[in-house]
Amino acid sequence: MKIGLDTMGGDYAPDSTIGGALLAYKEMPATDRIVLIGDEQVIREALVRKKADPEVFDIVHAPEVIGMNEPPSRTFFRKSRSSISVGFSMLGDHAIDAFTGAGSSGAMMVGSIYSVNVIQGVIRPCTAALIPKENSGVGILLDVGTNPDTKPDVLYQFAILGAIYAEAVHKIIDPKIGLLNIGEEDIKGNVLTHSAFQLMKDMRDFRFIGNIEGRDLFNDRADVIVCDGFTGNVIIKLIESMHEIIVRHGRSDDFIDRFNYENYGGTPILGINSSVVVGHGISNAGAIKNMILLAREMHNVGLAGKIKDTLIKFSEINHF
Amino acid sequence: MKIGLDTMGGDYAPDSTIGGALLAYKEMPATDRIVLIGDEQVIREALVRKKADPEVFDIVHAPEVIGMNEPPSRTFFRKSRSSISVGFSMLGDHAIDAFTGAGSSGAMMVGSIYSVNVIQGVIRPCTAALIPKENSGVGILLDVGTNPDTKPDVLYQFAILGAIYAEAVHKIIDPKIGLLNIGEEDIKGNVLTHSAFQLMKDMRDFRFIGNIEGRDLFNDRADVIVCDGFTGNVIIKLIESMHEIIVRHGRSDDFIDRFNYENYGGTPILGINSSVVVGHGISNAGAIKNMILLAREMHNVGLAGKIKDTLIKFSEINHF
């Protein structure tokens, strides 16, 4: 398989991206190739700095860069020679099997929707983050920013997407789905969660365990936690900053280090016809490595196909 | 002044409440009295267990208790001899100057609205939590659960309430107000925050510093952070659980202990004609003490009057 990497994406690119590609290369079989997409001269110089053999990678020249503050939609189409636009063009043409990047998350979403297309039946694609559990393992939180305004049926579908992702990629068998809310009782919540709860409570498309609260994020009550993208985005940035503060004050250890975003590589875009992972802007080489390996795993397990098959099955059962 | 305490409120009542009242008593001048409201026999037995002199308190008999899972509105009126109903009745009659309790937060809100009344011009009262800043001091987060669905003008008013509370009670001079959002740019957010930003950006009623993100909660960018009650409630429960996990893993120290809710005593209800603080259900004696002292401070600085005066002034300027 071939995994594309936006070598220009992220605050510390290209050193972080090339460094991450080298780390990932060492953990992958020779049949898998990483495709470095970006300004060829910049890529080759970075490879020289790292004393790396350029032959182990494919290099695709893309001289433009989409800035973090440029409007994603317009720039994605206008800068057709940018690393992100070229990457998605290749993904749409099946010249690569997966695409990863820590650049403009907006442009990565635009590319996912326009070049790769949303899986039929998916109302809104979303992004998922991994949350470390106190005891062991991880939970999945979604959406974490793609859909700041969400409707109950969309939350319902996030539960399905999250359950498939948790089981296929993270090997969580028969995952427990919780709805993030501000109380455990049926009647608690805002208009959105109250309606979503009513939709979820009697359905058999997934294993719904009911409302969970902010305090349950790190315990074992739920494996997949569903919320609107506004709340999810606030949460992941909050957790990250708490982890940073604790590290800064010298209180880190193996356990607390599980809250380090680097270990999780990036957020996959769920609900599209391919494997795309968006990395954190501040990704270092270790995070880039994990982002590439996550995209590889998503492709290898056939995540998009599983989502497609499941939605077809559910639509037949539920007559959606 | 007289401060009422619901001695039956909280998971560890009455030992936590009586213990907290004794601790608070030691820090207050003799002119201030704590009024213990609840089942008199239960109160007197708890005072005997603690070898305390009952003469230092006023005791008001209220034999009923509002359960945590009872519907707040209905129960507040039906159980008129409950500690919460009696407390608010006394507060409405000015028999006490402030009321505190760690029982049903719903019933505390019902009492605040019906027995004490909302300050004229306040669209929705709200609850505020203290957030420890990494460097020093605290920030104010509001709303933290009273208004899970919020409108832009309500968020705007939370900013005013939060600014007055921060300055009057926590001595934060000319507080910086931030709108919690999922990006710093004007265009970021959900429908609610996008509209609220437009309302706030050109106004001069408070010192608006723009959007802030989940990662800014503990830094010095904003002193008062405004959000809907759903997001705020998820946040405070999340922070509390992260603190608990860190303590459980033996990584606590003076700095991390600043995240302990006990230090902050409870959440004040802002926007009503009196001083009411709602404590955490799991409050211990230390938390109860701080809850009482916070209510005392709110009364002493005349917080409700300041809010009333400010809203009258703003309504004249802005022709609301």
> CB contacts < 8 Å between A and B, how many?
119
Per the CB < 8 A criterion, the answer to whether B175 and B223 are in contact is yes
- In which element (H, E) is residue A212 found? strand A207-212
Residue A119 is given by DSSP the state P
Among chain A residues, the shortest Cα distance to B135 is held by: A245
d(CA B176, CA B38): 41
Cβ–Cβ contact A145 with B under 8 A: yes
pLDDT in tens, A76-129: 999 999 999 999 999 999 999 999 999 999 999 999 999 999 999 999 999 999
pLDDT of residue A99: 98
* Residue among A190, A234, A246 minimizing CB distance to B235: A234
Model pTM above 0.90: yes
Nearest to B314 by CA among B115, B161, B165: B161
Give the least confident one: A131-135, B88-92, B254-258, B276-280: B254-258
**Best CA proximity match to B246, nearest among B235, B258, B236:** B258
| Cα angle for residues B124, B126, B128 (degrees, 5° grid) | 160
Amino acid at B180: L
Among all residues of chain B, which has the CA nearest to that of A235? B214
What average pLDDT does this structure show over A216-229?
97
Q: Which of A49, A155, A146 is nearest to A107 (CA)?
A: A146
Helix (H) or strand (E) holding A300: helix A285-300
**What is the ipTM score, two decimals?**
0.93
What is the C-alpha separation between A123 and A229, in angstroms, rounded? 14
Q: How far apart are CA B172 and CA B152, in angstroms?
A: 25
Q: Are the CB atoms for A280 and A263 separated by under 8 Å?
A: no
What backbone torsions phi and psi does residue A271 show, to the nearest 5 degrees? 105, 5
Residue A295: pLDDT over 70: yes
Which of A236, A238, A241, A252 would best serve as a mutation to test chain B binding (most B beta carbons within 10 A)? Answer: A238
The confidence band for B248, taking pLDDT boundaries of 50, 70 and 90, is confident
DSSP 8-state symbol, B118: B
Mark which residues 7-66 of B lie under 8 Å from A by CB. none
**pLDDT score, position B173:** 95
Question: How distant is the alpha carbon of residue A276 from its chain centre?
Answer: 7
- By Cβ distance, the residue of B145, B193, B214 closest to A182 is B145
Q: What is the pLDDT, as a whole number, of residue B100?
A: 98
Q: Which two tokens stand for residue A192?
A: 């959105």
Given the structure tokens 């509209």, which residue do they identify? B195
Reported as a single tens digit per residue, the pLDDT across A27-74 is 999 999 999 999 999 999 999 999 999 999 999 999 999 998 899 999
Does residue B179 belong to the interface with chain A, where contact is any CB pair within 8 Å?
no
Sign of the Cα pseudo-torsion (A289, A295, A299, A302, in order): positive
Structure confidence at residue B180 as a pLDDT band (50, 70, 90):
very high
Selecting from A190, A214, A236 the residue whose C-beta is nearest the C-beta of B241 gives A214
Q: Given an 8 Å threshold on Cβ–Cβ distance, is B235 in contact with A238?
A: yes
Asked if A129 and A232 count as a contact pair (C-beta separation under 8 A), the reply is yes
- Please say whether the dihedral angle defined by the alpha carbons of residues B238, B240, B242 and B248, taken in this order, is positive or negative: negative
Phi/psi of residue A269, nearest 5 degrees: -95, 120
Q: Give the 3-state secondary structure of A145-186.
A: CCCCCCCHHHHHHHHHHHHHHHHHHHCCCCCEEEEECCCCCC
pLDDT of residue B319: 52
Please give the average per-residue pLDDT across A199-210, as a whole number.
Answer: 90
Q: What pLDDT is stored for residue B318 in this prediction?
A: 63
Residues B145 and A195: their CA atoms lie apart, in Å, by 18
Under the banding of pLDDT at 50, 70 and 90, the label for residue A204 is confident
Query: In the predicted model, is pLDDT for residue B254 greater than 80?
Result: no
Q: CB-based burial of residue A183 (10 Å sphere; 0-12 exposed, 13-18 middle, 19+ buried)? A: middle
User: What pLDDT, on a 0 to 100 scale, did the predictor assign at position A38?
Assistant: 98
| Residue A85: both structure tokens together | 């636009």
**Residue B31 reports pLDDT greater than 60:** yes
pLDDT at A8 over 90: yes
pLDDT-derived band of residue A256, with 50, 70 and 90 as boundaries?
A: confident
Q: Which residue blocks in B50-170 are alpha helix, DSSP H?
A: 72-78, 83-92, 105-111, 152-170
Q: What's the pLDDT at B317?
A: 67
pLDDT of B97 strictly over 90: yes
Distance from CA of B108 to the nearest CA of A (A): 16
Mean per-residue pLDDT of chain A: 94
B95 token code pair: 């028999």
Q: Order of strands, edge to edge, in the sheet holding A224-226?
A: A58-61, A33-38, A2-6, A98-101, A275-278, A267-270, A126-132, A138-142, A224-226, A176-180, A207-212
Nearest CA among A75, A93, A79, A90 for reference residue A5: A90
Report how far Cα B318 is from the mean position of its chain's Cα atoms: 28
Residue A264 has pLDDT above 90, yes or no: no
Q: How far is CA B262 from CA A108, B26, B283, in A?
A: 43, 18, 7
Distances (CA, A) of A24 to A18, A260, A286, A302, B63: 10, 19, 9, 20, 68
The H or E element that residue A246 is part of is helix A229-248
Give mean pLDDT, residues B117-133: 95
The mean pLDDT of A186-212, rounded to a whole number, is 91
User: Does the pLDDT of residue A137 top 70, yes or no?
Assistant: yes
Distance between A84 CA and the closest CA of chain B, angstroms: 21
Any CB–CB contact under 8 A between A182 and chain B?
yes
State mean pLDDT over A176-203: 92
Q: What is the distance between the terminal CA atoms of chain A, rounded to a whole angstrom? A: 35
Q: Do B182 and A229 touch (CB under 8 A)?
A: yes
Q: Which amino acid is at A131?
A: I
Alpha-carbon Rg of chain B, whole angstroms? 19
As a whole number of angstroms, the distance between CA B182 and CA B193 comes to 9
- Quote the pLDDT of residue B135: 85
% pLDDT > 90, chain A: 83
Q: Which two tokens mark B315?
A: 């309504």
Cβ of residue A238 closer than 8 Å to a chain B Cβ = yes
